[in-house]
Each structure stands twice: as C-alpha cells, then as structure tokens.
C-alpha cells in the first residue's frame, strides 16, 4: 500500500545507495525542496517523496550531529520524556543536530533498559514498586502532572481559553532548559492573538521565573521539575 504519493509510480525501497544519496544531496543543496513529492522526479530518483524526505532529514542533512549521545543529552531526553512522553519530535527539538528517529532509537535501545535496571517505569518514570514516594516528592510530581497536562494540550485549544496571562505555582527546586534556538520558525505564529505568560512563583509568592510565550507553546522553554540530590 504505502503513502498515496508512492502508490502511483514504481519506487525503489530499502537501503539508499551512495549514488542515490549524492543525487538527493545535489538536488536539495541547489534547488531546495519546495515540494517533496516532486523531489524524486527532479532529482532523478526512483524513490517516493516521503522516502526522500526521510533520508534527508534523518541522514543527509548537513547540520546533523553523528555519533553517540552524551550523558547530558541523555539526561535532557529523560527529563523531557517525563513531561511529554513519546513525542520524539518534541524531544529532538531540544537536541540540536539530533533527529526524532535517532532519539527514538536511542530511547528504545538504551534509555529504556537503563531506567528499567534502575527500577523505573520508562513510561511513567515512577518507581515500579507499588509504594508511593514521600510526600515532598508527591508535591513535585503533582506539579509535573499539571504542567504536563497543560503542555500536551494543542496550542489552539490552550489559546482559545486564554484571556490574558496564565500563571502556575510550582515548588522549587526545579531546573530550566534553554528555549529553542532563535532560528526555529515560530509555530502557527500568525494565529496567535493572546500571548501567554508563564509565571513561576515560590511559596512566598515571589516571582522565580517569568517567560512570555509570544509565539506558541511549542517554542516555550520547558520547565523541568525534579528533586535535587
């Protein structure tokens, strides 16, 4: 069956040859890819557009970082996965030079096993034991759930309910991740009418961090809440 764009023509499948790679790279570096469906024909490839797109994004893009993941990258993956779950594309956006496929493979081959060996459920990041954590940790966990639920709502749905600013109280300690690189194109920027401001306060109502979300939820720095050692 396959994708509709591939069903009409005879397309090659399987591993890409160096010659095919060269054709694709040459075409995209000189002409770009306005329409992936037209790339195979213009580049002289017997592949479907979807396959070309995948090959370029996951393997041929010049800004890809090859090689094994650093421990810092691994920690970022774990932290963001705790919040957003198996949204590999979201996670990969916070790891320059890494693709969603790479992150997914790394998770399935390494991180998952590591968490299991530590007695942690890779889906929930909670201890596999039936006992709950201490009350202090429960408080943090509760905030993670709140933030997670908000984060996972589609941007449109969130914005439609926002009339000014949204604030959320969380308890320290917490860490933050830097925002996405400035080159990241704003997601659905044109549709945003009500800017969101997230405010994190301490227990005495002092502002700890405030960050506007002028473009969208997608470009918001993700707050990572985890107990400090």
Partner DNA sequence: AAGCCTTGCAACCGCCACGAT
Partner DNA sequence: AATCGTGGCGGTTGCAAGGCT
Is 210 in contact with 198 (CB distance < 8 Å)? yes
Using omega within 30 degrees of 0 as the cis cutoff, is the peptide bond preceding 173 cis? Answer: yes
Is 195 in contact with 212 (CB distance < 8 Å)? yes
* 114 is a site residue for DNA (CB under 7 A): no
The one among 9, 46, 75, 86 contacting DNA by CB under 7 A = 86
* Shortest CB 200 distance to DNA, Å: 25
Is 227 in contact with 135 (CB distance < 8 Å)? no
The one among 45, 80, 102, 174 contacting DNA by CB under 7 A = 102
- Nearer to DNA by Cβ, of 41 and 139: the residue is 41
The one among 49, 78, 82, 224 contacting DNA by CB under 7 A = 49
Taken in order 169, 170, 175, 180, the sign of the CA dihedral is: negative
Of 54-62, 145-153, 162-170, 203-211, the segment contacting DNA by CB under 7 A is 54-62
* 157 is a site residue for DNA (CB under 7 A): no
The one among 109, 130, 135, 161 contacting DNA by CB under 7 A = 109
The one among 24, 73, 90, 95 contacting DNA by CB under 7 A = 90
Concatenate the DSSP letters of all residues of 209-228 into one string. Answer: EEEEESS-GGGSPPEE----
Q: Which helix (H) or strand (E) holds 197?
A: strand 196-201
Instruction: List, in sequence order, every residue forming a beta bridge with 209; answer none if it has no partner.
Output: 200
Q: Which residues of the shown chain bind DNA in the complex (CB under 7 A)?
A: 1-6, 12-16, 33, 35-38, 47, 49-51, 53-55, 58-59, 68, 86-90, 100-102, 104-106, 108-110, 154, 156
């Amino acid at each position: 069956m396959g994708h509709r764009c591939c069903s009409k023509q005879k397309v090659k499948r399987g591993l890409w040859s160096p010659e095919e790679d060269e054709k694709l790279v040459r075409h995209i570096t000189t002409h770009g890819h306005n329409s992936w469906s037209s790339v195979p024909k213009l580049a002289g490839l017997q592949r479907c557009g979807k396959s070309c797109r995948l090959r370029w994004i996951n393997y041929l893009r010049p800004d890809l970082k090859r090689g094994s993941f650093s421990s810092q990258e691994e920690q970022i993956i774990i932290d963001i996965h705790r919040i957003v779950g198996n949204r590999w594309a979201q996670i990969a956006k916070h790891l320059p030079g890494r693709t969603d496929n790479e992150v997914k493979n790394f998770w399935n081959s390494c991180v998952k096993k590591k968490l299991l060996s530590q007695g942690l459920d890779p889906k929930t990041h909670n201890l596999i034991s039936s006992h709950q954590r201490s009350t202090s940790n429960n408080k943090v966990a509760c905030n993670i759930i709140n933030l997670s639920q908000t984060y996972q709502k589609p941007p449109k749905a969130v914005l439609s309910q926002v009339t000014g600013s949204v604030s959320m109280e969380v308890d320290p300690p917490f860490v933050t991740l830097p925002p996405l690189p400035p080159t990241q194109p704003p997601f659905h920027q044109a549709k945003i009418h009500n800017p969101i401001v997230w405010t994190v306060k301490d227990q005495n109502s002092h502002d700890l961090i405030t960050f506007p979300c002028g473009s969208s939820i997608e470009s918001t720095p993700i707050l990572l809440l985890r107990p400090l050692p």
